[in-house]
Amino acid sequence: MITFDNVTKKYGNEQIAVNAINLEIKKGEFFVIIGPSGCGKTTLLKMINRLIHLTDGTIWINGKRISDYNIHELRWNIGYVLQQIALFPHMTIEENIAVVPEMKKWSKSQIQQRVRELLDMVGLEPDKYSQRKPKELSGGEQQRVGVVRALAADPEIILMDEPFSALDPISRAKLQDDLHELQRTIQKTIVFVSHDMQEALKLGDRICVMKDGEIVQIGTPHDIIQNPANDFVEEFIGVKEHAINTFHIQAIIEPIADEDNRKNLDATIASNDPLHTILEKLAHYECLGVEDSGKIIGVVTRASMLQYLANDSLGRGNVNG
Structural element, H or E, at residue 79: strand 78-82
The residue with greater pLDDT, 243 or 154, is 154
Residue 57 buriedness (CB in 10 A; 0-12 / 13-18 / 19+): middle
The residue with greater pLDDT, 109 or 296, is 109
Range scoring the smallest mean pLDDT among 133-147, 173-187, 204-218, 247-261: 247-261
Q: What is the pLDDT of residue 180?
A: 85
pLDDT greater than 80 at residue 240: no
Range scoring the smallest mean pLDDT among 56-70, 126-140, 220-234: 220-234
Q: Are 244 and 275 a contacting pair, CB within 8 Å?
A: yes
pLDDT band at 53 (very low <50, low <70, confident <90, very high): very high
The residue with greater pLDDT, 190 or 234, is 190
Q: What is the pLDDT of residue 315?
A: 45
- What's 2-43 look like in SS3? EEEEEEEEECCCCCEEEEEEEEEECCCCEEEEECCCCCCHHH
pLDDT greater than 90 at residue 8: yes
Q: What is the pLDDT of residue 195?
A: 87
Q: What is the pLDDT of residue 249?
A: 80
Q: What is the pLDDT of residues 29-42, one digit of tens each?
A: 999 999 998 999 99
The residue with greater pLDDT, 278 or 66, is 66
Q: In the Cβ-directed half-sphere of 310, how many Cα atoms lie within 13 Å? A: 16
Q: Which domains does the chain have, with CATH numbers?
A: 2-236 (3.40.50.300), 241-314 (3.90.1280)
Q: Are 4 and 22 a contacting pair, CB within 8 Å?
A: yes
Beta bridge partners of 192: 32, 160
Mean pLDDT (the chain, rounded): 86
pTM of the model: 0.76
pLDDT greater than 50 at residue 55: yes
Range scoring the smallest mean pLDDT among 8-22, 258-272, 288-302, 303-317: 303-317
pLDDT band at 161 (very low <50, low <70, confident <90, very high): very high
Q: List Cα–Cα distances, 289 to 46, 176, 295, in angstroms.
A: 40, 22, 9
Q: Specify whether the backbone of 217 is left (phi greater than 0), alpha (psi in -120 to 50) or beta.
A: beta
Q: What is the pLDDT of residues 268-285, one digit of tens each?
A: 888 877 777 788 788 788
Q: What is the pLDDT of residues 83-96, one digit of tens each?
A: 777 789 999 999 99
Q: Are 205 and 30 a contacting pair, CB within 8 Å?
A: yes
Enumerate residues 6+ apart whose C-beta is below 8 A from 151. 79, 118, 158, 186, 188
Q: List Cα–Cα distances, 272 to 150, 251, 268, in angstroms.
A: 43, 13, 12
**Average pLDDT, integer, range 231-254:** 71
- Alpha helices (H) in the chain, listed in sequence order: 41-48, 71-76, 93-97, 99-103, 108-121, 126-129, 139-151, 169-186, 197-203, 221-226, 231-237, 241-245, 259-263, 275-282, 302-310
**Average pLDDT, integer, range 105-126:** 93
